[in-house]
Amino acid sequence: MAILDTPRPDPLPAPFLDALKDLLGEKGWTREPEALTAAATPWRGAFAPGHTPLVARPASTAEAAALVKLCARHGVAITPQGGNTGLVDGGTPHGEITVSMTRMQAVRDLDRFNNSLIIEAGTPLVTAQEAAREADRLFPLSLGSEGSATIGGLISTNAGGVAVLRYGMMRDLLLGLEVVLPSGDVWDGLSGLRKNNTGYDLKHLFAGAEGTLGLITAATLKLFPAVQRASAWITCESAGDVVALLARIRETAGDTVTSFEMIPENAVRMVREDMANLRDPLPSSSPWRVLCEISMGNENHARETLENALGDALEDGLASDAVIAENLGQAGDFWAIRESIPLSKKAFGMSVNHDVSVPVSKIPDFLEAAARDVAAIAPQAEIVAFGHVGDGNLHYSACDPADPEQSALKPKAGDITAAVHARAMSFGGSISAEHGVGRLKRDELAGIRPPAATEAMGAIKQALDPLGIMNPGRVVNV
Ligand SMILES: Cc1cc2nc3c(=O)[nH]c(=O)nc-3n(C[C@H](O)[C@H](O)[C@H](O)COP(=O)(O)OP(=O)(O)OC[C@H]3O[C@@H](n4cnc5c(N)ncnc54)[C@H](O)[C@@H]3O)c2cc1C
């Protein structure tokens, strides 16, 4: 592979390497080619691979702090890495040493009465969910990469997922943080307080900073009462009906609506073709499906509320058909279809992907206008638009059933992206709803953000990281 074959002069000074080896011990670092390649390879070829001269694996906050201090002393740049599932080229190193957080996975404290969990940054999301469940509590963040994505990565990308409608994004689930600053100093802000008006709320600086302001070593997360779920698979005849259906169900079920995922018919078809074991819960020619979940303390109440809400919607004609999962296994089957879309889309062939958001009410108009724009550039493109419609967030792809290298869409990808992004912006939307900025969207966003915002971000970066060693070139170009 190119990463291994290209000879590169060692960019790491010998005194730095000697000190690092003493500091971290044998388990704390590697220069094995396989490990370097793995660290520099993004999730399933989401973008081009990078390269890294060394992977460091601190096992404690003290080790992480000493490591960053050492890097600052020698001017060695760092890319913090968790599960390496990010989709915007933020956690893949491009010459920096990789600081992998995967040895920091301790649950430090769980306080059932304060409803808070202190957990280390390298812990996979599923472990946090399980820890909460064992204490009869809920940590609500949930997304397709939850087996690999880590708490530190999720905070750093301010991840969203399928329960944002009710519980908010990662930033909303954060009570406190412990961070190694670019100087190597540690900020211990792990307080589990819900009220603490003592000046700038520093934790929010690091949420969404994508590792550019410091290395997160631990976090205090909000927990919620455990809930029981009721899930429905619904068919709708238009995007307008989907949006009206959400409003209708919320009128009946209020804040108990946890997820409301919009899935087009062609996405279900792609999943079915790719994964023979998954079946469409309600085969029909309707153009849209909705996966709706309601959660309440009592399972029967949740089911009853969902049944009532759906009854009204079917009567009004906002839904054409619906089925409620009989048990957790069936609900899991619904989610398996939803969560398989990204991989099945990849198996289908070429796709030009976007992570946009618009006000929920504008979704139907956006879909219509963007489809027209894309057709004008690439008439053969098949549009697959799915996502968290309750948050106005669509994963919008132009697809072609061809080898990505040969596809006629390939030379048009830049124009398609420009058109989709321009259309989202024209509806008052965002071109990065939940995946972040990384290197992929840095320059485009610099041209879109108000100049005062870019200037303020640059000033914060300079103030905290004057040497520019923390994940340089991501988010802001300083
Ligand atoms: C199949 C799939 C489904 C997904 N679904 C969703 C979804 O529904 N919603 C959503 O929001 N996202 C989704 N994502 C993307 C999501 O952003 C990432 O999965 C996750 O947030 C990144 O976590 P990670 O541990 O893999 O971080 P990485 O990819 O390793 O890193 C991401 C960024 O965080 C930084 N970082 C990592 N750890 C630290 C740390 N300890 N301190 C400081 N900086 C750090 C990195 O430098 C990088 O900039 C999905 C991804 C995949 C592959």
Q: What is the pLDDT of residues 248-280, one digit of tens each?
A: 999 999 999 999 999 999 999 999 999 989 999
Low-confidence ranges of the chain (pLDDT < 70): 1-9
Considering only CA atoms, which residue is closest to atom 50 of ligand 1? 145
Q: Which amino acid does the sequence have at 4?
A: L
Helix count (H) and strand count (E) of the chain?
Answer: 16, 18
Which of 81, 150, 206 for a ligand 1 pocket mutation test, highest count of atoms within 8 Å of Cβ?
Answer: 81
Centre of ligand 1 from the C-alpha of residue 153, in Å: 5
Residue 6 CB neighbour total at 10 angstroms: 8
Please report which residue ranges of 260-350 form alpha helices under DSSP H.
265-274, 299-316, 328-348
| pLDDT score recorded for residue 374 | 97
Q: Which of 215, 213, 202 is nearest to 478 (CA)?
A: 213
Residue 92 to residue 79: CA distance in whole angstroms: 7
Ligand 1 pocket member 85 (CB < 6 A): yes
Residues with Cβ within 8 Å of residue 146, at least 6 apart in sequence: 124, 125, 126, 129, 161
Centre of ligand 1 from the C-alpha of residue 414, in Å: 24
Structure tokens at 169: 């994004």
Centre of ligand 1 from the C-alpha of residue 155, in Å: 8
Residue 470 to residue 478: CA distance in whole angstroms: 11
Structural domains in the chain, sorted by start: 107-225 (3.30.465.10), 227-338 (3.30.70.2190), 349-434 (3.30.70.2740)
Considering only CA atoms, which residue is closest to atom 16 of ligand 1? 86
Ligand 1 pocket member 435 (CB < 6 A): yes
pLDDT tens, position by position, 18-54: 999 999 999 999 999 999 999 999 987 778 899 999 9
Q: CA 343, 102, 126: angle at the middle one, nearest 5?
A: 55
Ligand 1 pocket member 101 (CB < 6 A): yes
Backbone angles phi, psi at 109, to 5 degrees: -165, 145
Residue 370 to residue 198: CA distance in whole angstroms: 45
Question: What 8-state DSSP symbol labels residue 284?
Answer: -
| pLDDT score recorded for residue 5 | 52
Secondary structure of 340-379 in HEC code, one letter for each residue: HHHHHHHHHCEEEEEEEECCHHHHHHHHHHHHHHHHHHCC
| pLDDT score recorded for residue 69 | 98
